[in-house]
Amino acid sequence: MRLIKAFVILALVVSLLPGCATMSDSTRTKAEGTGIGAVLGAGVGYLVGGGKGAAIGAAAGAGVGFLVGNEIAKRKQSYASTEDFLNAEITNTQEYNRTAVAHNQKLSQDIAALEKESKNLRSQYDKGKTDKKTLTAKRDQLQKRINDSKKLEDTLAKELEVQTAILQDERKTRPANDQYITRLEKEVAALQKNLNQLHNNNTQMASINQRLSV
């Protein structure tokens, strides 16, 4: 019964989307963002708290979706045509990907050295050859780097959300083999891959930092 209620909530949310066709481009983008966010929020909410969780999740998701819709509408205002807008978003996503690739490459190199250094420090501490102050200083240093890297992860995740919503919106009105959609899809897929790698790198650094806990 709880599962049925959750699907009813999702169906009600989805049923609101067709009405967006009569709105202006800016208003429609915001409304569709709200609907998409509500659907995703309801699904997550149900997994967390059943039928009641679905309702709460739908409300929270709608808020997130509206923020994404606002961001997209704001970006569109700067361009005379949809093609110019999509070109700019493709270039924007390419820049995010270049930044993520460079960051991940540096992290991957440093993680290997950090693994070795942390194991050595922990071993020395356990043998009484180094003090707690040394481990704490190293851990604080590493935590700062983790925090900075997580900020980039959060930024990439938000941009991925925006670009995914742009794709969902533009696919409705552009042909399936549209060059702009194809190019943006490629960059969004790369962004997802880079984000996943960054998340894994940050998780590894957190694990190393935990090893230095005393």
| pLDDT score of 154 | 92
Which DSSP string do the residues of the chain spell out, in sequence order?
Answer: -HHHHHHHHHHHHHHTGGGGGGS-HHHHHHHHHHHHHHHHHHHHHHHHHHHHHHHHHHHHHHHHHHHHHHHHHHHHTT-SSHHHHHHHHHHHHHHHHHHHHHHHHHHHHHHHHHHHHHHHHHHHHHTTSS-HHHHHHHHHHHHHHHHHHHHHHHHHHHHHHHHHHHHHHHTTTS-TT-HHHHHHHHHHHHHHHHHHHHHHHHHHHHHHHHHT--
User: Is residue 86 located within the same domain as residue 56?
Assistant: no
60 and 89 both lie in a single domain: no
State what percent of residues in the chain have pLDDT above 90.
54
> Does one domain contain both 54 and 140?
no
Q: Are residues 18 and 109 in the same domain?
A: no
Q: How many residues does the chain have?
A: 214
Residue 28 has pLDDT above 90, yes or no: no
Residues 159 and 212 in one domain: yes
Q: What is the pLDDT of residues 98-120, one digit of tens each?
A: 999 999 999 999 999 999 999 99
Residue where a domain terminates, one of 44, 77, 110: 77
> Are 16 and 62 part of one and the same domain?
yes
The more confident residue out of 39 and 197 is 197
The pLDDT score that the predictor gives to residue 151 is 93
162 vs 4, 31, 65, 93, 102, CA distance in Å? Answer: 30, 14, 9, 10, 22
More confident residue, 70 or 91: 91
pLDDT at residue 214, rounded to an integer:
75
Task: Say yes or no: 67 and 92 in one domain.
Answer: no
With beta carbons less than 8 A apart as the criterion, state whether 100 and 81 touch.
no
pLDDT at 53 over 70: no
**Res. 13: pLDDT tops 80:** no
Domain match, 207 and 186 both? yes
pLDDT at 31: 54
Q: What is the pLDDT of residues 155-207, one digit of tens each?
A: 999 999 999 999 999 999 999 789 999 999 999 999 999 999 999 999 999 99
Only one residue has tokens 């994404």, namely: 68
Place of tokens 């460079």: 102
Q: What is the pLDDT of residue 213?
A: 84
Give the per-residue pLDDT at 33. Answer: 54
Structural domain harbouring 193: 80-214
Q: What is the pLDDT of residue 211?
A: 86
Please give the tally of structural domains in the chain. 2
> Do 28 and 103 lie in a common domain?
no
Worst-scoring range by mean pLDDT, 33-42, 115-124, 136-145?
Answer: 33-42
- Choose the final residue of a domain: 21, 47, 77: 77
